[in-house]
């Protein structure tokens, strides 16, 4: 796999793509929803082709070998010893967030999350009759951090669950072990279950950053943690709907499975096939992807510097840039950039008004074109 393979444009119009259909028949480059415009690794495509060639698409069952591959991957990457029975297969992480809310506590209990945040974190508590409590992340020395004091203040006897995202979408932080330990200590103190969404853990862009799964901090933290993971962001297979939870605490796992019963379908055969190939055969592709995304991020950062009223804090993971537009004087930045031919995602959806999220998971040429459009529009706006 060469880094330059990611330069090859793939036509996604008319392929039922959520990202591209949004601006059907419009000259707007879609840099919003979090999927990438790259083909999946060749091994994933090959595994899917073989499975399709078989031609029988009955009900799927999680292959034991796949659960073994997941356990082996977690041990290798994170030194995390996971027993096969801890794994609960899911058709997606949004589903997992909602099941977590339903499985912990009772109606009217409180669920805390740190904002800005991926929008389903804001809706999942309400979907299950829980009360959403938000605590803003803050910036310190141009880095997004958790305001532990504010977090602790917002905890009440009704707080049962924390929905946490690491690496963080949209701010791109890889939280350090010390930060995670402080967060976990608070959850321990107030007996709060942690649902840790780690879907972006394969997208750590710099070698000096490491992903620490929350559940690996200490046995008592593992005991109160529901971890959600998937190959879908890293290997660009979100449309195949295959994810999993890791829940070592038997009681929590039972509650989670009870909340799923009769509602949540198992992943399908194609999702399993893609996941197996992604986790076992795609290390080189993964490495090349990270190189490419890092260079794309540098392209984004360089371009944003040329637009003085916009800024971004350093992005450590994900292919998402969280752009601060509060000093731009733009009343509706997303509409403004759409009119300039670039489709961003509005910070309001993340409880982050004044910001917009830009997805840089696309061929660099397209990214440059979008950034040039943004720069021209800003120059025009400022004259």
Ligand X SMILES: Cc1ncc(COP(=O)(O)O)c(C=O)c1O
Whole-number minimum distance, CB 130 to ligand X, in Å? 18
Whole-number minimum distance, CB 39 to ligand X, in Å? 18
Pick the closer one to ligand X by CB: 238 or 341. 238
Whole-number minimum distance, CB 2 to ligand X, in Å? 27
Pick the closer one to ligand X by CB: 93 or 114. 93
Whole-number minimum distance, CB 94 to ligand X, in Å? 4
Pick the closer one to ligand X by CB: 217 or 243. 243
Residues ≥6 apart with Cβ < 8 Å to 72: none
Q: Are 245 and 91 in contact (CB under 8 A)?
A: no
Residues ≥6 apart with Cβ < 8 Å to 347: 116, 170, 322, 325, 353, 354, 355, 356, 357
Q: Are 47 and 274 in contact (CB under 8 A)?
A: yes
Whole-number minimum distance, CB 237 to ligand X, in Å? 10
Whole-number minimum distance, CB 168 to ligand X, in Å? 8
Pick the closer one to ligand X by CB: 1 or 90. 90
Secondary structure of 291-343 in HEC code, one letter for each residue = HHHHHHHHHHHHHHHCCCCCEECCCCECCEEEEECCCCCCCCHHHHHHHCCEE
For tokens 């000259």, the residue is: 27
Provide, for the chain, the percentages of residues in helix, strand and coil under a 3-state DSSP scheme, each rounded to the nearest 5.
Answer: 45, 15, 40
Pick the closer one to ligand X by CB: 93 or 282. 93
Residues ≥6 apart with Cβ < 8 Å to 19: 12, 30, 32, 33, 35, 37, 359
Pick the closer one to ligand X by CB: 34 or 330. 34
Q: Are 334 and 342 in contact (CB under 8 A)?
A: no
Q: List residues binding ligand X (CB under 6 A).
A: 34, 92-94, 118, 165, 169, 197, 199, 230, 232, 238, 243
Pick the closer one to ligand X by CB: 232 or 296. 232
Whole-number minimum distance, CB 197 to ligand X, in Å? 5
């Amino acid at each position: 796999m060469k880094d330059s393979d990611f330069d090859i444009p793939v036509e996604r119009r008319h392929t039922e793509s959520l990202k591209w259909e949004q601006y059907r028949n419009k000259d707007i480059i879609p840099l919003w929803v979090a999927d990438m415009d790259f083909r999946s690794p060749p091994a994933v495509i090959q595994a899917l082709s073989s499975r399709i060639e078989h031609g029988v698409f009955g009900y799927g069952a999680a292959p034991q070998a796949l659960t073994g591959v997941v356990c082996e991957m977690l041990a290798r990457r994170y030194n995390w010893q996971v027993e096969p029975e801890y794994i609960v297969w899911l058709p997606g992480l949004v589903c997992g967030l909602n099941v977590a809310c339903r499985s912990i506590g009772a109606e009217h209990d409180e669920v805390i999350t740190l904002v800005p945040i991926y929008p389903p974190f804001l809706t999942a508590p309400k979907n299950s009759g829980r009360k959403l409590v938000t605590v803003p992340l803050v910036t310190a020395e141009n880095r997004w951090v958790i305001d532990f004091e504010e977090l602790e203040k917002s905890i009440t006897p009704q707080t049962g669950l924390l929905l946490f995202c690491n690496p963080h979408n949209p701010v791109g932080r890889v939280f350090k072990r010390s930060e995670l330990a402080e967060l976990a200590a608070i959850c321990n103190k107030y007996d709060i279950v942690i649902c840790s969404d780690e879907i972006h853990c394969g997208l750590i862009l710099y070698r000096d950053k490491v992903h620490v799964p929350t559940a690996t901090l200490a046995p008592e933290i593992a005991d109160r943690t529901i971890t959600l993971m998937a190959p879908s962001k890293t290997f660009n297979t979100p449309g195949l709907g295959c994810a999993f939870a890791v829940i070592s605490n038997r009681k929590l796992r039972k509650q989670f499975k009870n909340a799923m019963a009769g509602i949540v379908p198992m992943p399908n055969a194609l999702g399993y096939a893609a996941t197996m190939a992604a986790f076992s055969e795609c290390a080189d592709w993964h490495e090349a992807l990270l190189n490419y995304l890092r260079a794309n991020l540098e392209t984004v950062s360089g371009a944003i510097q040329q637009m003085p009223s916009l800024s971004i804090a350093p992005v450590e993971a994900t292919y998402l840039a969280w752009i601060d537009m509060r000093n731009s004087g733009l009343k509706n930045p997303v509409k403004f950039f759409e009119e300039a031919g670039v489709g961003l995602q509005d910070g309001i959806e993340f409880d982050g008004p004044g910001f917009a999220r830009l997805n840089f998971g696309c061929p660099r040429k397209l990214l440059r074109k979008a950034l040039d459009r943004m720069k021209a529009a800003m120059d025009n706006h400022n004259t």
